[in-house]
Amino acid sequence: MQLRLHPRATPMAALVSATDAGNDEPLVISYAALPTDRALEMQVFRRTAAPNQGVQLQPLAMGNAATGFVHAYRALPATMPALADESVEETQPAALIMRATIARARRDHPEPSGFDVHPSTL
């Protein structure tokens, strides 16, 4: 399963429980803490295609036996998050890191090299 803050955001991986009845809220488990203060887009991968759902996560108390290695949430129904006005580069950390690396290389080594990237390709 993947959760996204909006449709073009970087996905956050997690596990979700299957529910038998339509009224049960699925449980979500993740190694990383997930945002609970906003609606998320939940994409579940199953044998049959399922539409993406809007959910808001509610943290579950796990008792004294849990030491913080996993985070558990109840997925409550919510409206789908709207598409952000950000460009794809602004939502993808890898693109930001690459852009900064190229700018730093150009600043530190102004002479062209075989690895130089033309600005139009960014």
CA max distance for the chain = 65
Residues 122 and 102: their CA atoms lie apart, in Å, by 10
pLDDT attached to residue 113: 59
pLDDT attached to residue 85: 58
pLDDT attached to residue 42: 92
Eight-state DSSP code of residue 24:
S
Domain extents in the chain: 2-77, 92-121
pLDDT attached to residue 24: 77
Q: What does pLDDT average to in each consecutive run of 10 residues of the chain (122 residues)?
A: 86 84 80 91 83 92 71 92 61 72 75 62 62
pLDDT attached to residue 10: 85
Residues 116 and 56: their CA atoms lie apart, in Å, by 44
